């Protein structure tokens, strides 16, 4: 049996890329190694920590739990794509103001999760924020400042409360 390479075609942050990779190549590795988009971090590689979270066709997905070939033809947004989008800047600003990161390893995953969370819940209370972030792990901050940041971002998003 041969494990020949397969063609993968992905639109990432609005740009189309075509690469040849092994079928076992994870989406996370594709983004980092083939495209050099190292903002997507890999923590556990088993779907638990959330550091590798991206938007796949507009919804959050663990990039360590998908093979690149499996999602060929899809649109992916990574943390690099969020920075370019001014309407999402309040999330990053709020993380910054509230000291919601220390080493920053988990931060891209938290930001991507927050992008979707605030779209689904434009005016969340603290309990909802805690539930929304429950599957992202941070080993530094103790979460308190992350929760504050998400609450502030909710207020400052276009169409938000504030």
Binding flag, residue 131, another protein (CB under 8 A): yes
Per rule CB under 8 A, count of chain residues that contact another protein:
35
Least distance CB 120 / another protein (angstroms):
8
Tell me the C-alpha to C-alpha distance, in Å, between residue 109 and each of 62, 67, 73, 78.
9, 18, 23, 9
Shortest distance (Å) from residue 139 CB to ligand FES: 4
Taking the complex as a whole, the smallest distance from the CB of residue 155 to another protein amounts, in Å, to: 21
Q: Does 26 bind another protein (CB under 8 A)?
A: yes
Tell me which stretch binds another protein (CB under 8 A): 85-93, 100-108, 129-137, 152-160.
129-137
Write down the least CB distance from residue 97 to another protein, Å: 25
Inter-residue contact 17 to 3 (CB < 8 Å): no
Helices 144-156 and 89-97 meet at what angle, rounded to 10? 140
Q: If you search the block for the tokens 């959330």, which residue do you land on?
A: 50
Q: What is the rounded distance in angstroms from the CA atom of residue 60 to the CA atom of residue 32?
A: 18
Token pair of 100, please? 């919601």
Query: What does the binding site for ligand FES look like in residue numbers (CB under 6 A)?
Result: 42-45, 47-52, 62, 64, 101-106, 138-141
Residue 110 makes contact with another protein by CB under 8 A? no
Q: Name every residue whose Cβ is closer than 8 Å to that of residue 9 and which is 6 or more positions away in sequence.
A: 16, 17, 18, 72, 73
Candidate list 30, 95, 110, 117; residue touching another protein; CB under 8 A: 117
């Amino acid at each position: 049996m041969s494990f020949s390479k397969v063609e993968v075609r992905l639109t990432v942050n609005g740009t189309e890329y075509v690469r040849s990779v092994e079928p076992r190549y994870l989406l996370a590795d594709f983004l980092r190694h083939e495209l050099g988009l190292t903002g997507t971090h890999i923590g556990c590689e088993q779907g638990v920590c959330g550091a590798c979270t991206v938007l796949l066709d507009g919804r959050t997905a663990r990039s360590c739990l998908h093979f690149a070939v499996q999602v060929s033809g899809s649109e992916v947004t990574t943390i690099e794509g969020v920075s370019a989008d001014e309407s999402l800047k309040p999330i990053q600003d709020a993380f910054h103001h509230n000291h919601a990161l220390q080493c920053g390893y988990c931060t891209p995953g938290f930001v991507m999760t927050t992008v979707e969370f605030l779209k689904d819940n434009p005016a969340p209370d603290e309990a909802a924020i805690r539930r929304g972030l429950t599957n992202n792990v941070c080993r530094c901050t103790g979460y308190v400042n992350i929760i504050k940041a998400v609450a502030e971002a909710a207020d400052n998003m276009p169409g938000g409360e504030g």
